[in-house]
Amino acid sequence: MLSNRLPLIAVTALAPALWGTTYSVSTTFLPPGHPLLTATLRALPAGLVLLAVGRRLPRGSWWWRSLVLGTLNIGAFFGFLFVAADRLPGGVAAVIGGVQPLLVALLASRFLGERLTPVTIAAGTGGLVGVALVALRAEAALDPAGVAAALLGAGSMAVGVVLTKRWASTEPPIVTTSWQLLAGGLLLAALTAVVEPLPTSEVTLGAVGAYAWLAIVGTAFAYLVWFRGVASLPTRVPAFLGLLSPVVALAIGTLVAGETLSSGQVVGVAVVLAAVGTAVMLGGRPARDPARSKTGVRDKVVHN
């Protein structure tokens, strides 16, 4: 029942709420023009912290599964996200990323047996429109490379979320989350070393605090509760909760930076909240067990 799931949904919603602080923290305290470095310093320390707590390395197929999931959910997603944010002004990256719930719902219907209803499609479309009203500015420009990065980031995360759900697990979420963050962080570190120069400006105390916030709170804790929600809730629910991130970013800009809300943004917030509420309230049959073969005999699988 929904009432039984509300505490888990509320905890899972903390993840996109924390992600909503990323733009403000990054633009205020971190050196500009280093998206891959920022992504690396989010993922790698977070993975090391969780690994130190979980104290367990992958076994068997989970070596390559962790690499795949870490690449999709962390490495590729973070890299594309920061490149898009660096190249697309006016919230364009957030708007393009708003297609992710629809992608997740579509993939989950195909690979997890979750129902794709007209209401879900309508909620996803409404959420995308709401994010556009919240984040898009009149002066926004469409940089082709930035648009491509935003689309690839949304697609990468959508595939990663569905695979995370499909590859079930008996390991604690803190363990599998650490594997993904480490795999993605190592990939990002390699890319950073090859294609992005290090900052030449002096590292300030504010920058150190910002990196610590992004790594420990905005990544280690946020992804831990996020993947716990992905494992336990219908896949569409965490995906739609992700739409709360630009709403939180807008709230921070209003409360901290003194920005003024437009009427369109107010409407956008209402539309986003309605879309998220609709996705959460939707009923649906349980997902088909992906571990069953066509003969109906349960295959032997390593659970997530």
Task: Tell me the pLDDT tens digit for each residue of 125-142.
Answer: 999 999 999 988 766 667
**C-alpha–C-alpha distance, residues 78 and 76, integer Å:** 6
pLDDT tens per residue, range 13-67: 999 999 999 888 988 898 888 888 999 999 999 999 999 999 999 999 999 999 9
pLDDT at 4 over 90: no
pLDDT at 287 over 80: no
Mean pLDDT of the chain, nearest integer: 87
Contact 228, 260 (CB under 8 A): no
Number of domains in the chain: 1
Alpha-helical segments (H) within 167-204:
173-195
pLDDT tens per residue, range 223-265: 999 999 999 999 999 999 999 999 998 898 888 877 788 899 9
What's residue 300's pLDDT? Answer: 34
In a domain, 295, yes or no: no
In a domain, 137, yes or no: yes
| Residues above pLDDT 90, as percent of the chain | 64
**C-alpha–C-alpha distance, residues 293 and 224, integer Å:** 30
Nearest CA to 219 out of 9, 8, 14 is that of 14
pLDDT at 193 over 50: yes
**C-alpha–C-alpha distance, residues 193 and 191, integer Å:** 5
Contact 220, 50 (CB under 8 A): yes
DSSP at 297:
P
Quote the domain boundaries for residue 259: 2-281
Instruction: Work out the pLDDT band at 160, boundaries 50, 70, 90.
Output: very high
What's residue 304's pLDDT? Answer: 35
Alpha-helical segments (H) within the chain:
2-19, 22-29, 35-54, 62-69, 77-87, 92-97, 100-111, 118-135, 144-166, 173-195, 205-212, 222-232, 236-241, 244-255, 263-281
Instruction: Work out the pLDDT band at 206, boundaries 50, 70, 90.
Output: very high
Judged by phi (left if over 0) then psi (alpha if -120 to 50, else beta), residue 33 lies in left
For residues 214-219, average pLDDT: 96
What's residue 81's pLDDT? Answer: 82
**C-alpha–C-alpha distance, residues 123 and 61, integer Å:** 36
Nearest CA to 230 out of 300, 301, 169, 276 is that of 169
pLDDT at 212 over 60: yes
In a domain, 302, yes or no: no
In a domain, 293, yes or no: no
What's residue 1's pLDDT? Answer: 59
Instruction: Work out the pLDDT band at 296, boundaries 50, 70, 90.
Output: very low
Task: Name residues whose C-beta falls within 8 Å of residue 301's C-beta, 6 or more positions apart in sequence.
Answer: 168, 291
In a domain, 289, yes or no: no
Name the more confident of 99 and 79: 99
Distance between terminal CA atoms of the chain? Answer: 24
In a domain, 296, yes or no: no
What's residue 283's pLDDT? Answer: 53
Q: How does 120-146 read in b/e, with b if 16+ C-beta sit within 10 Å?
A: beebbebbbbbbbbbbbeeeeeebeeb
pLDDT tens per residue, range 58-83: 999 999 999 999 999 999 998 888 77
What's residue 294's pLDDT? Answer: 38
The region of weakest confidence among 24-33, 49-58, 86-95, 107-116 is 86-95
In a domain, 73, yes or no: yes
pLDDT at 302 over 70: no
Name the more confident of 170 and 151: 151
In a domain, 287, yes or no: no
